[in-house]
Amino acid sequence: MPMVSMWKKISPCHFVMQDCHRRIEIRYHATGSQSGWGVYADGTLVQQRAAFTEARGIAMGLATGA
């Protein structure tokens, strides 16, 4: 059975998933026209997306190794 990782809500603009391999975070950055959700792996920005659902998909791919 595959391991299921759970998201922890730190704030409305910050979510964290910790699994045995790495720490994945989604953080919202309000920077004018560049506002969006940043996806981080072990503290390093991987990608930034305008929509939360897109950022979450990227984060899940990182967590599962896809």
Q: What is the DSSP string of 5-54?
A: P--EEEETTEEEEE-SS-EEEEEEE--GGG-EEEEEETTEEEEEESSHHH
Distance CA 7, CA 26 (A): 10
Provide the residue ranges of all domains of the chain, joining segments of one domain with +.
7-23+32-64
In the structure, what pLDDT confidence band is assigned to residue 27 with cuts at 50, 70 and 90? very high
The amino acid sitting at 39 is V
Summarize pLDDT for 4-20 with one digit per residue, the tens: 568 899 999 999 998 76
pTM of the predicted model as reported, rounded to 2 decimal places:
0.83
